[in-house]
Amino acid sequence: MEAHSTARIAFQGELGAYSHQACAETRPDMDVLPCATFEDVIDAVVSGRAEQAMLPVENTTYGRVADIHRLLPGSGLHIIDEAFVRVHINMLAVPGTKLEEVKRAHSHLVLLPQCARFLRTHGIEGVNAGDNAKAAREVAEAGDRSTVALASELAGAIYGLDVLARNIEDEDTNTTRFLVMARAANMARRGNEGMMTSFVFRVRNIPAALYKAMGGFATNGVNMTKLESYMVGGAFTATQFYADIEGHPDDPGVARALEELSYFTSELKVLGTYPADARRQIKRQMQEQQTT
């Protein structure tokens, strides 16, 4: 009898990357498949080498991951889940290293500014690395106590490094939103925290097209949580919009809003309908408390 193989989820980066952390937290029953690029992640699912893909789309400190918005519409995959992952940045060192020995910290260009206060306080030079987990692996291989990596605790555990300083990020709310994608959509699911729908569209070449296109969401009581524009095809005139809304296309208000949107768009493509992450509600409640 042939043994059942464990499903795999693909992510961009090396073992120990924050995308790997997202997989471990949200898909602990799946094997992971590290990939060099976002394109490779998508191809792994399309080709059947993995069942799902874990892709970062935005970070509360860094902003959106532009490459993902460009790749999603043509990927042929469907969003089936979202995951909010708290990004803790840790100083990983060769075992036995003392903080006063550290002269350089290697990490991705995006992470270094997020730890600027800690590095400045301790007189440590930030050195750009292509990948956080790769930096951790290289620090472990070099065995140099004067050089550390800024990465996840998971990377430290994988490469045998000590956590010399934990959670050194300047902002204590640093969170990345990930999308989980698969070959087939699952429109029948309903989440306890509500549903989200993501789509891309291009407006028709008529006056006030975007204003008119958005009007249907307001009049039908549909909350739009994200609307971003980006150029496609290398032309300033070819603008595509990416949007997230609360609700399911089968909900009457959402159905009416999408129907109205179609009147003012030349292209409209739903990328996925999926349960809202519980941390989305927690984040909203915190924002509401701050404004009251």
Any idea which residues carry the catalytic annotation?
176, 178
Six token digits for residue 112? 């270094």
What gap in Å lies between CA 216 and CA 228, rounded to an integer?
Answer: 17
What gap in Å lies between CA 70 and CA 32, rounded to an integer?
Answer: 24
What gap in Å lies between CA 87 and CA 172, rounded to an integer?
Answer: 9
Angle, helix 252-263 to helix 209-219, in steps of 10 degrees: 170
In the chain, the amino acid numbered 256 is R
What gap in Å lies between CA 174 and CA 62, rounded to an integer?
Answer: 9
**Residue closest to 97 by CA, chosen among 117, 115, 122, 116:** 122
Instruction: Give Dmax over CA atoms of the chain in angstroms.
Output: 66
Q: What is the dihedral of CA 33, 34, 37, 40, to 10 degrees?
A: -20
Q: Are 149 and 34 in contact (CB under 8 A)?
A: no
